Amino acid sequence: MNTVVPAEAGVGGPREARAAAGDDVVLRAEHLSVVYDGERATRAVRDVTVELRRNEVLGIAGESGCGKSTLAYALMRMLRPPARLTAGTLEFRDRDGSPPVDVMALDGPELRHFRWTKLSMVFQSAMNALNPVTSLRKQFGDIFKTHVPEMGADEREERSRALLEMVGIDPGRVSGFPHELSGGMRQRVVIAMALALQPEIVIMDEPTTALDVVVQREILDEIERLREELGFSVVFITHDLSLLLEISDRLAVMYAGEIVEYAPSDQVARAPAHPYTLGLLESFPDMRGTRRQLHGIPGSPPDLRDDLLGCSFAPRCSFAFDPCAIVDPVLGPRFPVLGTGLDPSSPPAHAVHVPGDGDAWTVACHLHDPTRCPSEPPAALRGGAHGAAGTEQA
Ligand code: SF4
């Protein structure tokens, strides 16, 4: 795992500036479900509701195979057979205040226009995303020819050079080929292509995973600079939770195709509410906190071709109790913070989840459901133990 030192959550910096910049929703997906057809269908994304606010970085974390990339392709309307969207809505709101766009209803030229001008994507592997035997000039040119057919050759050349310069690459490289570039430079080119038409949203699918930590840091800084300059929102997908805690405003943790925790990133860093999130946090060292024992998460994720009964994390969860094996927990409000004198038998008013409330902290776990769990969640899930227990980092 490429580990980047998490910033001190919530202490100054661009995260607060973004929060102050406004919290209107630019993209909202509701109840998205995707299956991969086959002899036994794989339910890769299961009833996911997520929203992206203007100017924010939304992190999506989880193990390989948890449905992160499939969700990204669903948001882009780029699923290809055998993947199939079986349910869900997707709404986009332009910054110009025009009526919301039902993205699922777009087709043909409308959908092509929507992609790249409103929502673009940085794909997982820069080398695979670029055609190795085609010049950068042609690859940039193809984007403009497809989406802005009225643009002339001179302007395409000028824009291509400007985009390379914008990501710190000599514009003269426009004549070059991807195989002549380093991994970091290729990644910059892919980012420049995603920004070619100044989209409002960029989905970044593991954009730094194949890079060493030094280049990873350069690319992250570059993304942050461009995001502040151009004002786009980001959906950042990675298995590296430590990286997301540093760069994202809010975090959606996925497990077995579902979102199991959804909250402001700084809150998750302090007090993960779902046992799976806690397990992820305990599996990498905190470079600034107290030395502690590292723990992996035992077992493997479930086979998503099977009918899942109860909580999909139950076989790996050290907190599992009676209802977990038979009742599927739904995303609901996190158990209220201790010390407020709350009666666990009735949910407090301030903990009631308001749909669309971006600051809500929701979790899919029976430990946070007062109707199923008669006592308070374990200390580790209330913020008391994470980062403080243990004596050594292995
Ligand atoms: Fe663990 Fe039960 Fe919560 Fe699932 S619902 S994460 S098994 S405590």
Residue after which a domain boundary falls, among 238, 261, 284:
261
- Provide the total of helices (H) and of strands (E) in the chain, helices listed first: 11, 12
Tell me whether residue 159 is in a domain. yes
213 plus 284 within the same structural domain: no
107 plus 32 within the same structural domain: yes
CATH number assigned to the domain comprising residue 43: 3.40.50.300
165 plus 279 within the same structural domain: no
d(CA 226, CA 218): 12
> What one-letter code names the amino acid at 223?
I
Q: Which domain holds residue 177?
A: 133-189
Q: Which atom of ligand 1 is nearest to 314's Cα?
A: 7
pTM of the model: 0.85
Among residues 254, 375, 392, 270, which one has the least CA distance to residue 319? 375
Tell me whether residue 204 is in a domain. yes
Contact 102, 42 (CB under 8 A): no
- In the block, residue with structure tokens 């409308």: 110
- Tally of structural domains, the chain: 3
d(CA 302, CA 305): 9
pLDDT the model gives residue 388? 36
137 plus 255 within the same structural domain: no
Contacts of 256 (CB under 8 A, 6+ apart): 46, 66, 67, 301, 302, 304, 308, 312, 313
Long-range residue pairs from 366-369, CB within 8 A, at least 24 positions apart, any chain: 366/311, 366/321, 366/323, 366/324, 366/327, 366/329, 367/275, 367/319, 367/321, 367/335, 368/273, 368/332, 368/333, 368/334, 368/335, 369/329, 369/332
Ligand 1: centre distance to CA 301 (Å): 14
The answer, yes or no, to whether any atom of ligand 1 lies below 6 A from the CB of 116, is no
d(CA 83, CA 336): 39
Judging by beta carbons within 10 Å of its beta carbon (0-12, 13-18, 19+), is residue 124 exposed, middle or buried? middle
179 plus 207 within the same structural domain: no
81 plus 217 within the same structural domain: yes
Q: CB count, 10 Å around CB of 320?
A: 18
Q: Which atom of ligand 1 is nearest to 312's Cα?
A: 4
pLDDT the model gives residue 309? 93
The answer, yes or no, to whether any atom of ligand 1 lies below 6 A from the CB of 301, is no
Under DSSP, is residue 33 helix (H, G, I), strand (E, B) or coil? Answer: strand
How many residues make up the chain in this entry?
394
Ligand 1: centre distance to CA 323 (Å): 9
Ligand 1: centre distance to CA 82 (Å): 31
Give the rounded percent of residues in the chain with a pLDDT score beyond 70: 82
165 plus 256 within the same structural domain: no
175 plus 277 within the same structural domain: no
Tell me whether residue 340 is in a domain. yes
Atom 7 in ligand 1: which residue has the minimum CA distance?
314
pLDDT the model gives residue 354? 38
pLDDT lower than 70: segments of the chain: 1-23, 126-127, 286-289, 336-359, 374, 382-394
145 plus 226 within the same structural domain: no
Tell me whether residue 125 is in a domain. no
Ligand 1: centre distance to CA 324 (Å): 6
373 plus 292 within the same structural domain: yes
Ligand 1: centre distance to CA 328 (Å): 9
Tell me whether residue 128 is in a domain. no
Atom 5 in ligand 1: which residue has the minimum CA distance?
365
Residue after which a domain boundary falls, among 261, 280, 305:
261
The answer, yes or no, to whether any atom of ligand 1 lies below 6 A from the CB of 320, is yes
Tell me whether residue 6 is in a domain. no
Atom 3 in ligand 1: which residue has the minimum CA distance?
365
206 plus 72 within the same structural domain: yes
Residue after which a domain boundary falls, among 236, 261, 286:
261
339 plus 251 within the same structural domain: no
pLDDT the model gives residue 23? 55
pLDDT the model gives residue 380? 72
d(CA 32, CA 214): 36
Tell me whether residue 9 is in a domain. no
Tell me whether residue 182 is in a domain. yes
